Homo-oligomer: A and B are copies of this chain.
Amino acid sequence: MRRGTNLLAVGGFNQSVILDRIRRSPEGLSRVEIAAVTGLSAQTVSNVSRRLLDSGMVREGEKRNVGPGKPRTLLHLDPTGMYAIGVHLDPTVVTYVLLDLSGNVVADHRAPTPTGLPVAGGPPAAATPDEVIAAMAEQVEAILDRSAVPRERVLGVGIAAPGPVDAARGIVLNPPLLEGWMRVPLREALAEATGLPVLLEKDVTAAAVAEIWTTDDRSRLRDNFAFFYYGTGIGMGLALDREVLRGASDNAGDIGHIRVAATGPLCSCGRHGCIGELVVPHYLVDLAITAGLMPAPYEPLGPGAIDSLFSTLAGAAAAGSPAAIAILEDTARHIAGAVVTITNLLDIDQVVFGGPFWRRIAALALPVIAELVNGDPALISPHPIHLSDSTIGEDVAAIGAGCLVLDHTLSPRPSTLLISE
A373 CB, min distance to chain B CBs, angstroms: 12
In the assembled complex, A232 has its CB within 8 A of some CB on chain B: no
- What's the nearest-Cβ distance from chain B to residue A263, in Å? 7
Interface 1/0s, chain A 386-421, versus B by CB < 8 A? 000000000000000000000000001011011100
Measured between beta carbons, the chain B residues less than 8 angstroms from A173 are 382
Tell me if B346 and A245 are in contact (CB < 8 A).
yes
Whether B414 and A247, one on each chain, are in contact in the complex, defined by CB atoms closer than 8 angstroms, is no
How far does the alpha carbon of A340 sit from the alpha carbon of B419 in the complex, in Å?
36
Q: A73: CB under 8 A from chain B?
A: no
Query: In the complex the two chains form, what is the Cα distance from A139 to B240 in whole Å?
Result: 37
Stretch of A78-86, A95-103, A184-192, A248-256 at the chain-chain interface:
A248-256
Binding-face segment, A62-70, A124-132, A268-276: A268-276
A223 within 8 A of B: yes
Contact present for A257 and B347 (CB under 8 Å): no
Residue A342 lies at the interface, judged by CB distance under 8 Å to chain B: yes
Question: Please, which residues of chain B bring their CB within 8 A of the CB of A383?
Answer: 248-249
Closest to A259 in B: B259
Contact B345 A251 (CB under 8 A): no
Q: What is the CB-to-nearest-CB distance from A352 to chain B, in angstroms, rounded to a whole number? A: 14
CB contact between A269 and one of B164, B247, B256, B377 (< 8 Å): that residue:
B377
Cα distance A417–B272 when bound, in Å? 49
A271 to B249, CA, bound (A): 34
CB of A119 within 8 A of chain B? Answer: no
Tell me the A69-128 residues at the B interface (CB within 8 Å).
none
> Do B381 and A249 touch (CB < 8 A)?
yes
User: Does residue A262 face the partner (Cβ distance < 8 Å to B)?
Assistant: yes
Complex Cα gap A80–B93 (Å): 64
The CA-CA distance from A223 to B248 in the complex, in Å, is 8
- Contact status of A419 and B254, CB under 8 A, knowing A346-B245, A383-B248, A383-B249: no
Task: Count the copies.
Answer: 2
Shortest Cβ distance from A413 into chain B, in angstroms?
A: 9
How far apart sit A217 and B239, CA to CA, in the bound complex (Å)?
A: 28
Q: A354 within 8 Å of B by Cβ? A: no
Nearest residue (CB) in B for A376 is B269
Of A249, A274, A348, chain B has the most CB atoms within 10 Å of the CB of A249
- What are the residues of chain B within 8 A of A267 when measuring CB–CB? 378
A253 to B381, CA, bound (A): 11
Query: Does A201 reach chain B (CB closer than 8 Å)?
Result: no
Contacts of A256 in B (CB 8 A): 344, 380
A-B pairs with beta carbons under 8 Å apart, 18 shown: A39-B419, A163-B380, A173-B382, A222-B248, A224-B248, A245-B346, A246-B347, A248-B347, A249-B349, A249-B383, A252-B347, A254-B347, A257-B341, A257-B380, A262-B262, A262-B273, A341-B341, A412-B419
Which 9 A-B residue pairings sit nearest by Cβ, starting from the closest?
A: A247-B347, A269-B378, A257-B378, A252-B347, A262-B262, A254-B344, A414-B414, A224-B248, A254-B380
- Other than A37-B419, A245-B346, A259-B260, give 9 A-B pairs with Cβ distance below 8 A: A163-B380, A249-B381, A251-B382, A254-B345, A255-B344, A257-B378, A259-B259, A262-B272, A414-B417
